[in-house]
Every structure is written in structure tokens, then in C-alpha cells.
Amino acid sequence: MTLPEPRLLVISDRSQARRPLTEIAAAAFAGGCRWFSLREKDLPADARRGLLAELVALARPYGASVIAHDDVDAVIATGAAGVHLPGGSDPLAARALLPNGLIGVSAHTPAEAAAMIAAGADYVTISPIFLTDSKPGYGPALGLDGLARAAATVKGPVLALAGITPTNARACLEAGAAGIAVMGEVMRASDPEATVRALLGAVERVSPTR
């Protein structure tokens, strides 16, 4: 499965958001984001499905891909592009329900990332690369060395996640990441469109390794 381009995945978190998620997503799409994931796991299923449908509609004029964390039923109902699964999940079970969908999985070690790709995931996020305000209890940070080990080990696309900013995004790709994933950097931004443009400015100066 081909990943959306450019290789920037914006992940939602309304607990950090300075605006409604639909406004942030619209600003992100205007800034060049073409890959957005709805992560609001604590929302009731109906509310999450309605929000996902709104995001899919917002993305359509930009040709952007919207996915959802965990909720395969909502993806099917709204025609979203795919699903991002928690670590230890079975990508093939999701593939059976979403034969043409994009399937991603979270990982926290190179070994876990390699196992998820081997199990059929199209990509993995690996975190935390840097310590982050979004998930202060997670760690220790893998750092660029840990990211490089993962990228060298995993036979598929690895996205760097956690603590990624316009300042360090380029270093993540140079370490071997196929792309970057961000949450708080965009959710907390006073100007999400400008933040996305800055992130893409860093990403687009480095050719993906995979």
C-alpha cells in the first residue's frame, strides 16, 4: 500500500487542541497536510463516527487521506482511508475488513515495529523519539540512534513519532524514518496551517528512504 504524500501524519487529540478539531484539520489541509488520523478513543462511537465523516468530507477537496485510530467500523461506515491500530494488534484481521485500506500500527521498540510490518502492517509509528508534553509518562526516549536502529531493522516504512518539531523533523528523516507523525505540535499550535507548512518544509528537503 502506498503511503500518502507528503509523509506527514497529523494525529488528533482534542484534549490539547486550541480549536475544534475540524478547524485544526481544515487548517492542516490548507497548509499541505494530506494525511490525518482521528484518535479520539474516548468519544462515544456515534460521535466519533460523525466527526470522522466530517473530516473525510473536509479532506476530499484536497485529495487527503483520513484514517481513524482503532475504529474499523467507523472507517467502513464513512469511507475513510484506513485504520491505525494499537501495538500488538493483528493487521491481517483489519485487512480482512479493509482490503483496500491503509493499515498502520503503533510500536515502541525496533523489534515490535519489525514484527508488525512482518504481520502485514503497511507502516508503523515508533515512539517516543523525543520526550513530549503529549505523553509525559512515556519513555525513555529512543532518540535518533534508536530511530536509526528501527529504520535499519524494519522491512517497511517507519514514521517517527513524539516530540517532532520543524527543528528536528529533518534529522528524523536523515536517521532513516520514512516520514514523521505529530500530535501536540499541531494541536497546540496558535496557527496550525503555518506549523504544518514549517513541518513540511523540513520533510520535503529530505527524500524518503523507503
Tens digits of per-residue pLDDT, 111-122?
A: 999 999 999 999
Question: In CATH terms, is domain 8-203 a member of 3.20.20.70?
Answer: yes
What is the phi-psi region of residue 174: left when phi exceeds 0, alpha when psi lies from -120 to 50, beta otherwise?
A: alpha
Summary mean pLDDT of the chain? 94
pTM for the whole thing?
0.94
Cα separation, 205 vs 170, in Å, equals 8
DSSP H helices in the chain: 21-30, 45-59, 72-78, 91-97, 110-118, 143-153, 169-174, 184-187, 192-203
Looking at residue 144, what is its pLDDT? Answer: 96
Per-residue pLDDT tens over the stretch 142-200: 999 999 999 999 999 999 999 999 999 999 999 999 999 999 999 999 999 999 999 99
Q: What is the mean pLDDT of residues 25-48?
A: 97
Widest pairwise Cα distance in the chain: 42
Would you place residue 138 in the very low, low, confident or very high pLDDT band (cuts 50, 70, 90)?
Answer: low
Identify the band that residue 131 occupies on the pLDDT scale cut at 50, 70 and 90. Answer: confident
* φ, ψ (nearest 5 deg) of residue 149: -65, -40
The pLDDT of residue 202: 87
